């Protein structure tokens, strides 16, 4: 799933085509005033599924943002997947952010967990444990354990993950997609050096969230 990859995500092609066809039909049958809201909707769908390529930072021990959005949590907390104390960094994606998800580190996927759940607003803290979610346990070459969790949101109804246990991820590698508003949580070792704060705007692959001990 590495680049080259279409600038408009494949996951969105049916939605974009459907929105454009409906707008075109209404435009042809009526006039532009009736079709205008539908063209706006089609443009919104188009921008939602944009998926631009990103340049991966060269420093190897960095933890990269797995998603575009804003930091809504940086806290010491219990990792519910690996049953350890960890630092959790949460990135909230609104409907105007790119929703393609990329690996935060280089490492082997040890295990994965899918949990059905609710669809409450993804910017709420309880969304991490109550919403539908998909978690990956990634072990880096130096032995650091990273848990990366895709969390569905209020509107998001589909989490897509294209990797499984046993596969190897590289930093910035595209591994999944969440439709229409969501979040990604990253659980890191306690001795990780955090580089972001709550409220920061971040970009998948481009923004360094933290540095792992060497």
Positions annotated as catalytic residues are 182
> Would you say 206 and 103 are in contact if contact means Cβ atoms under 8 Å apart?
no
In 3D space, the residue among 112, 137, 129 whose CA is nearest the CA of residue 183 turns out to be 129
Reading the block at residue 34, the tokens are 């009736």
Per-residue buried b or exposed e for 176-201, using 16+ beta carbons within 10 Å of the residue's own CB? bbbbbbbbbbbbbbeebeeebeeebe
State phi, psi for 72 to the nearest 5 degrees. Answer: -115, -5
Provide the 3-class DSSP secondary structure of residue 20.
helix
Q: In the chain, what is the straight-line distance between the N-terminal and C-terminal CA atoms, in Å?
A: 28
Residue 48 burial (CB count, 10 A): 20
């Amino acid at each position: 799933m590495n680049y080259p990859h279409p600038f408009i995500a494949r996951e969105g092609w049916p939605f974009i085509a459907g929105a454009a066809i409906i707008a075109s039909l209404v435009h042809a049958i009526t006039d532009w005033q009736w079709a205008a809201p539908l063209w706006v909707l089609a443009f919104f769908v188009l921008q939602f599924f944009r998926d631009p390529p990103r340049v991966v930072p060269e420093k190897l021990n960095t933890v990269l943002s797995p998603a575009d959005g804003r930091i809504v949590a940086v806290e010491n907390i219990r990792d519910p997947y690996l049953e350890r104390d960890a630092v959790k960094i949460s990135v909230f994606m609104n409907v105007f952010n790119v929703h393609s998800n990329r690996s935060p580190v280089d490492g082997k996927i040890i295990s994965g967990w899918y949990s059905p759940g609710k669809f409450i607003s993804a910017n709420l803290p309880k969304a991490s444990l109550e919403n539908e979610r998909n978690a990956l346990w990634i072990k880096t070459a130096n032995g650091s354990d990273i848990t990366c969790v895709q969390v569905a949101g209020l509107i998001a109804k589909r989490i897509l993950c294209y990797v499984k246990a046993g596969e190897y991820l590289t930093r910035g590698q595209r591994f999944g997609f969440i439709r229409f508003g969501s979040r990604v949580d990253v659980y890191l070792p306690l001795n990780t050096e955090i580089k972001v704060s709550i409220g920061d705007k971040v970009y998948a692959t481009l923004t360094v969230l933290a540095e792992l001990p060497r």
